[in-house]
Amino acid sequence: MTKESKPDRLRQMGALNPKPEGVRAPWFREAGFFDPLDLVQVKYEMLRHAREEGTNKADAAALFGLSRQTYYQAEAAFERDGMSGLLPRTRGPKSAHKLTGEVMRLVEEHLDANGQLQARSLADLVHARLGISVHPRSIERAVARKKKTMKSRRTQSPCRRAARMFTKRSAPRLFAARLARGAWAPSSSTDCGAAWQC
């Protein structure tokens, strides 16, 4: 079994500096603790150098082979999240941003009568009616999420609701009151496993 090198691990994490030769800070040129391949360490040292040594931001960015824009992004991320803000983030949208309420209403209106999903034809319909290009798989995922939330919102059985309501103090009093009203009746076979009909 081969051991992974540090550059391989940095590449997997997205933290490999694409231009290590651009780092001109003398302490990075000496072999040892500072590694110009480690982009997180380079960004941190750039911020530290500007803040502690009083170097202006443009010069600090140039010394570490990074742009001013990268400096300002790193500075904001560090102030917001500390060291973890310098770690690489996944790019791209974080949610189904094209599937607005209007798009989902159109999709729900045009599902087959039996609830079958024809995602490709629905994507074409959304594009034709609203001018929004949506991938069919995005529609499938959104409909599945909607079904899942609807399923979890269905009312629970009376036994489960009662189990949540009862506490050690209120259980005997509430139980007696419901039994007196005929809310529960003894049964030999039940869904909830107790000897009461749900």
Note the maximum CA span of the chain.
85
Region of residue 84 (phi > 0: left; psi between -120 and 50: alpha; otherwise: beta): alpha
Higher per-residue confidence, 173 vs 141: 141
- Alpha carbon distance 47, 84 (integer Å): 14
Higher per-residue confidence, 181 vs 183: 181
pLDDT value, residue 44: 94
- Kindly tell me if the per-residue pLDDT of 163 is higher than 90: no
Q: What is the pTM of this model?
A: 0.47
pLDDT value, residue 29: 81
Per-residue pLDDT tens over the stretch 51-89: 999 889 999 999 999 999 999 999 999 999 898 888 887
- Kindly tell me if the per-residue pLDDT of 175 is higher than 50: yes
Q: For residue 23, give every residue at least 6 positions away whose Cβ sits within 8 Å of its Cβ, in sequence order, or none.
A: 17, 29, 36, 42, 63, 64, 65
Q: Which two tokens stand for residue 83?
A: 């060291």
Mean pLDDT for the stretch of residues 175-198 = 54
Mean pLDDT for the stretch of residues 12-20 = 88
Higher per-residue confidence, 120 vs 2: 120
pLDDT value, residue 168: 46
**What is the three-state SS of the chain?**
CCCCCHHHHHHHHCCECCCHHHCCCHHHHCCCCCCCCEHHHHHHHHHHHHHHHCCCHHHHHHHCCCCHHHHHHHHHHHHHHHHHHHCCCCCCCCCCCCCCHHHHHHHHHCCCCCCCCCHHHHHHHHHHHHCCCCCHHHHHHHHHHHHHHHHHHCCCCHHHHHHHHCCCCCHHHHHHHHHHHCCCCECCCCCCCCCECC
Most confident of the following: 10-14, 65-69, 101-105, 118-122: 65-69
Higher per-residue confidence, 173 vs 135: 135
Is residue 105 classed exposed, middle or buried when 0-12, 13-18 and 19+ CB atoms within 10 A define those classes?
exposed
